[in-house]
A and B are shown apart, each in its own frame.
Chain A
């Protein structure tokens, strides 16, 4: 099936003297993490199905610098940022979509001052706009009537006030959207932000992802929907820690929509 994926690069577009309508920023997790790669592919399938002319940077893409910046390494962050901005500006990129809220936040908010000004959207916002424009249809399929709860990624929600796009997509699946005790601006972090993904947690009496997973399990969902590859990992680990992996799946919204259509 994967050979059906059309994933053109910016270099290929340029060679043909064309501009894609949007650049898909895949991100490090989306490129290398086995779980996140599935999200990347699901999103590409939706882009292909909707006939979106998109491109990726491929091997010209590099880490946005988010984990370095949040660790305190401003030098490394700005080196990454300036390098990426040079590439993006050379390709005259106008619009960027990404399935990672960390990349989304960094490119959208922290790149402009360094010379990188683009319209940046999260993949749930982009899918919502495809839906509104009639380019994408969403059907419930296997998820019709399922209990789904959405975990707000901090860098999408609180950091950038995007709360509705992912929820509207879930509702289009004709699923039953249930909210956790802490949701939207009160959403509890999965525990991965601020470069915590790459280190062990400090001493405490619990892991943050377990606490958040318990909040999710409290509303008895069949699926925990996520919109961030790191949240996805943390919640998946949390569900495993609670030994609930047989009953509860953790899935990205792009995967839900793609799987519903058996893409």
Chain B
């Protein structure tokens, strides 16, 4: 009987971690639905970007208030989690506070955790106020209703509860309080429980302990269903982020082949096509998530809906429908839908009559983009919404000839006379004599 809690703990741990791994596999499979792209170049620059942008939060702090609060929560989250190791050993083997043999170092560590827990709690409250009382504009755009809005608040409540449980757990731990080392914050909470018998205290301590670890496991599994996934994916996403100058858009290789063939005077247009031509992509551009590359899909899962992109977008600022954040959210939601479709159809995607274009992202949004890269510059985790917009425009133009009329005119002009306006190429140097 005395091993019952340990067995219970082990089972919880296995379920918690097992379910998480299952979802990570699903996540990986969904991301791999994207086209392959070679991102193995320039590894040292990639590591540097990851350590600066994700680990070092360099782009977060460009907005100082949100950036500072975020750094507090981020540092707190990572450091306080060292304590989870001790909790797991306690749970599995019944060795309460096994690291306390470290003596004063242990006190210093737990003391630091307690201070961080308090700071995290305070930051979370400020985050909540910014979102719900001050109502910062970017948190109240049209794509931020229902689930996205609730998701953001649930995360904040979760963190508030976890930090509270951590402090209560320490405050009601008689042995720990008697050590009087490291209880920098919890010693002020202990008096709240004065007058309770040591049995009741122990009961509360165990309760907080269990809820704390269960809370962490639940939170871990909540990630997959939430924008909070960014705490993991920010790292690979910044690693695989674009290294070229922002203005450089990729040249479609399939098109290069065709153009080179058209321009090559030695090629026989009536020759039987070679075998390798079957490698040509089924379509140009993207109308659904499978047409995007896997880094773009990783981008979609990484997005934490902070809305910095949208708040910097010139189209959005002037009341157009385009919101780069919505582009990322739509891509993720459609990818999830495709993933579920594959799950229910035994590993194969069955056409559901839907696609990313039109069912999620409208043409009006796509044509409103000025390709100014403000969204890309603003993203704290190297997401590139512009690349998805361009890919979808490519589909509209090259597969559907569905560009706005004025753009078709512009393109006809370029084709006919080498300028976007109807001027004769032979008049190009006339300015010299005007």
Whether B251 and A2, one on each chain, are in contact in the complex, defined by CB atoms closer than 8 angstroms, is no
- In angstroms, how far is the closest chain B Cβ from the Cβ of A41? 7
Q: Which of B252, B367, B404, B411 contacts A68 (CB 8 A)?
A: B411
What are the residues of chain A within 8 A of B262 when measuring CB–CB? 79
Whether B431 and A41, one on each chain, are in contact in the complex, defined by CB atoms closer than 8 angstroms, is yes
Count chain A CB atoms within 10 A of each CB in B247, B414, B432 and give the residue with the most.
B247
Q: Taking CB as reference atom, which chain B residue is nearest A182?
A: B312
A-contacting residues, B338-392, CB 8 Å: 364, 367-374, 376-377, 390, 392
A-contacting residues, B420-434, CB 8 Å: 420-421, 423, 425-434
Q: Taking CB as reference atom, which chain B residue is nearest A61?
A: B428
B-contacting residues, A37-56, CB 8 Å: 37, 40-41, 56
Q: Which of B312, B373, B406 contacts A199 (CB 8 A)?
A: B406
With A and B bound together, what is the CA distance between A108 and B248 in angstroms?
Answer: 9
Whether A75 and B410, one on each chain, are in contact in the complex, defined by CB atoms closer than 8 angstroms, is no
With A and B bound together, what is the CA distance between A194 and B397 in angstroms?
Answer: 14
Q: Taking CB as reference atom, which chain A residue is nearest B423?
A: A32
Whether A199 and B314, one on each chain, are in contact in the complex, defined by CB atoms closer than 8 angstroms, is no
Chain A 61-76, CB within 8 Å of chain B: the 1/0 string?
1110101111111111
What are the residues of chain B within 8 A of A59 when measuring CB–CB? 425-429
With A and B bound together, what is the CA distance between A204 and B403 in angstroms?
Answer: 19
Classify chain A: how many residues form its interface, as a range.
35 or more
With A and B bound together, what is the CA distance between A65 and B249 in angstroms?
Answer: 12
What are the residues of chain A within 8 A of B282 when measuring CB–CB? none
- In angstroms, how far is the closest chain B Cβ from the Cβ of A263? 16
What are the residues of chain A within 8 A of B370 when measuring CB–CB? 154, 189, 191-194, 196, 208
With A and B bound together, what is the CA distance between A199 and B373 in angstroms?
Answer: 19
Whether B420 and A208, one on each chain, are in contact in the complex, defined by CB atoms closer than 8 angstroms, is no
Q: Taking CB as reference atom, which chain B residue is nearest A86?
A: B263
Whether A80 and B368, one on each chain, are in contact in the complex, defined by CB atoms closer than 8 angstroms, is no
Q: Which stretch (B99-107, B197-205, B297-305, B316-324) binds chain A?
A: B316-324
With A and B bound together, what is the CA distance between A31 and B428 in angstroms?
Answer: 5
- A72-B390, A195-B407, A211-B317 in contact; A63/B396 too (CB < 8 A)? no
Count chain B CB atoms within 10 A of each CB in A5, A161, A185 and give the residue with the most.
A185
With A and B bound together, what is the CA distance between A203 and B368 in angstroms?
Answer: 9
- In angstroms, how far is the closest chain A Cβ from the Cβ of B80? 34
With A and B bound together, what is the CA distance between A61 and B204 in angstroms?
Answer: 80
Q: Which stretch (B115-123, B168-176, B253-261) binds chain A?
A: B253-261
- In angstroms, how far is the closest chain A Cβ from the Cβ of B58? 13
What are the residues of chain B within 8 A of A212 when measuring CB–CB? 314
- A7-B432, A59-B428 in contact; A73/B411 too (CB < 8 A)? yes
What are the residues of chain B within 8 A of A75 when measuring CB–CB? 255, 258-259, 398
Whether B248 and A105, one on each chain, are in contact in the complex, defined by CB atoms closer than 8 angstroms, is yes
- A154-B370, A191-B314 in contact; A78/B428 too (CB < 8 A)? no
Whether B367 and A109, one on each chain, are in contact in the complex, defined by CB atoms closer than 8 angstroms, is no
What are the residues of chain A within 8 A of B396 when measuring CB–CB? 72
- A32-B423, A59-B426, A198-B407 in contact; A72/B314 too (CB < 8 A)? no
B-contacting residues, A97-147, CB 8 Å: 105, 108-110, 113-114
Whether B251 and A74, one on each chain, are in contact in the complex, defined by CB atoms closer than 8 angstroms, is yes
B-contacting residues, A1-40, CB 8 Å: 2-3, 5, 7, 9, 26, 28, 30-33, 37, 40
Q: Taking CB as reference atom, which chain B residue is nearest A69?
A: B249
23 contacts between A and B (CB under 8 A): A2-B433, A26-B428, A59-B429, A72-B403, A73-B394, A73-B403, A79-B263, A80-B414, A108-B245, A109-B247, A110-B248, A158-B373, A198-B407, A201-B318, A202-B315, A202-B364, A203-B320, A203-B364, A204-B315, A205-B318, A205-B319, A208-B315, A212-B314
Interface residues of B (CB under 8 A from A): 244-249, 251-252, 255-256, 258-260, 262-263, 284-285, 312, 314-315, 317-322, 364, 367-374, 376-377, 390, 392-398, 403-404, 406-407, 409-411, 414-415, 418-421, 423, 425-434
